[in-house]
Chains A and B, each alone.
Chain A
């Protein structure tokens, strides 16, 4: 198993550009989530999904969109990048639904918005 994979590892955007951060898992996990991590702020939940076709907002959803068309993939879209979105983004997955079991985290995507 590859576990949770994230692409790209690094990305630099200009203000106003859009992009999609990719997240995939091969463990048949129902629960997937996106977090951002900023210095001194811990992990903040952006969006999460309890299964294919179901998504919900977390603590800091503004400026981000998600969809969950398959169990394996959970992409995060930045609609119009802003410098405040400069951060490290982590995707995580767990099973069963509800995330009671341990979450497996990806290696992260380091995003810089100029």
Chain B
């Protein structure tokens, strides 16, 4: 059974304090790993897709990396507007299901 585990569940950082969010996954043949951002009361918003181990993608203060067992979302010098829930999801080669983890709630203090 495909599984996605995100840690920590919640993270509070001071503005400018860099950190990383973890997404561990178990899937038989990875088609893609996705990162989304979700603001309260809204639908998730796409950030990145990673397809193979060693791949990295960046967007502003965010950088996503992928290994064969986990992905990290690195946040460099975060700002209060980066506060949100960050969701990780995986899709297996054998079917088209996209399965999400429970998310990490990130709060950046000014």
Chain A residues 53 to 82 lying within 8 A of chain B, measured CB to CB, are 56, 58-59
Tell me how far the C-beta of A33 lies from the nearest C-beta in chain B, rounded to whole angstroms: 7
The size class of the interface chain A forms with chain B is 20 to 34
Which partner residue on chain A sits nearest B89 by CB separation?
A43
B49 within 8 A of A: yes
Which partner residue on chain A sits nearest B48 by CB separation?
A102
Cβ–Cβ < 8 Å partners of B101 in chain A? 42
Residue with the highest number of chain A CB atoms closer than 10 Å, among B43, B45, B95, B100: B43
Tell me how far the C-beta of B6 lies from the nearest C-beta in chain A, rounded to whole angstroms: 8
Tell me how far the C-beta of A107 lies from the nearest C-beta in chain B, rounded to whole angstroms: 6
Tell me how far the C-beta of B62 lies from the nearest C-beta in chain A, rounded to whole angstroms: 15
Chain A residues 4 to 52 lying within 8 A of chain B, measured CB to CB, are 4, 31, 33, 35, 40-45, 48, 50
Binding site for A on B (CB under 8 A): 6, 31-32, 34, 36, 41-46, 49, 87, 89, 91, 95-103
Binding site for B on A (CB under 8 A): 4, 31, 33, 35, 40-45, 48, 50, 56, 58-59, 90, 92, 97-108
A-B contact pairs, 21 of them (CB 8 A): A33-B98, A35-B100, A40-B102, A42-B6, A43-B87, A48-B97, A56-B96, A58-B97, A59-B97, A59-B99, A92-B43, A97-B96, A98-B91, A100-B31, A100-B49, A100-B91, A103-B44, A103-B98, A105-B43, A105-B44, A108-B43
